[in-house]
Amino acid sequence: VEGKPSIVDDAVTALGDKNGFHVGVTKDGRIFDDQQFHDYSAVIFYTTGDLTTLGTDGKPPMSPEGKQKLLDAIHNGLGFVGIHAAADTFHPQPDPKDLSNRYIAHGDQQDPYLKMLGGEFIIHGSTPRLQDTHLIVDDPKFPGLEAVTSPVTSNDEWYSLKDFAPDMHVILTLDTHGMTGACYQRSPYPATWARMHGKGRIFYTAIGDRPENWKNEFFLNLLAGGIRWAIDDANASAEPNLKEAAPGYAEIP
């Protein structure tokens, strides 16, 4: 509803109340040019598209300078949490009649934001868009996963991802076996991870499209753990394990 907090706003704010951290919510991209921005311990993105251009909601966009200030702040120790479409943010938009660019690993040519995040959106399934699948728990000691038995069955709009940072610590792997759609005809690949970007702690999870998941205990506990780790309020490993957790991670369908 326009002018009111979203399901995501309410859920993350409630997580803060429960776990002892304050949450500020804004769609005003000018915040990254504001000194107030430096008062936060982490930034959470539930975003999509090029944030330096005016979006359909009409809110002020981020300036190119603000984007660089954000990346510099993260490198210097600001935490960052990306949820679902955060991997489809600053994602190059190909010609809608030619999607082949989506299926190319950009490597060093990848947008600096996506390099920081550690992975990039390719596409998601459409028939069906939502699917049940298994998530393999690669780090059962990660905050919020201590009581979870692997694998976890979850239903969502699953992103097919690429250009994974080689130094990431994989927390959950998407088990693609039995999934419907060409974009999932690949080996299991990371769906949730942590990594260091300079001094900044990065947490990303591909879960979070379905409104129902914002009431799901497994997802909310995982997200709370990721936020707490990003703000240095919880301990977790960031030891690289990409090749062990997802040997076929580099496959692009």
The reply to whether 82 falls in a domain is yes
Each residue's pLDDT tens digit, 35-55:
778 899 999 999 999 999 998
Task: Count how many residues are written for the chain.
Answer: 253
Between 207 and 58, name the one with better pLDDT.
207
Q: Which of 214, 204, 222 is nearest to 120 (CA)?
A: 204
What's residue 1's pLDDT?
A: 46
- CA 47 vs. chain centroid, Å, equals 9
The reply to whether 1 falls in a domain is no
Each residue's pLDDT tens digit, 78-122:
999 999 999 999 987 666 667 777 888 988 889 999 999 999 999
The reply to whether 109 falls in a domain is yes
Each residue's pLDDT tens digit, 157-200:
999 999 999 999 999 999 999 999 999 999 999 999 999 999 99
The answer to whether the pTM exceeds 0.75 is yes
The reply to whether 75 falls in a domain is yes
Q: Is residue 206 predicted with pLDDT exceeding 80?
A: yes
**13 lies in which domain range?**
7-245
* Helix (H), strand (E), coil (C) string for 167-234: CCEEEEEEECCCCCCHHHCCCCEEEEEEEEECCEEEEEECCCCCHHHHHCHHHHHHHHHHHHHHCCCC
76 Cβ neighbours under 8 A, 6+ residues apart: 198, 199, 200
CA–CA gap between residue 205 and residue 151 (Å, rounded):
16
The reply to whether 174 falls in a domain is yes
**Mean confidence (pLDDT) of the chain:** 94
CATH classification at residue 28: 3.40.50.880
The reply to whether 252 falls in a domain is no
The reply to whether 2 falls in a domain is no
CA–CA gap between residue 47 and residue 82 (Å, rounded):
8
The reply to whether 253 falls in a domain is no
What's the structural domain count of the chain? 1
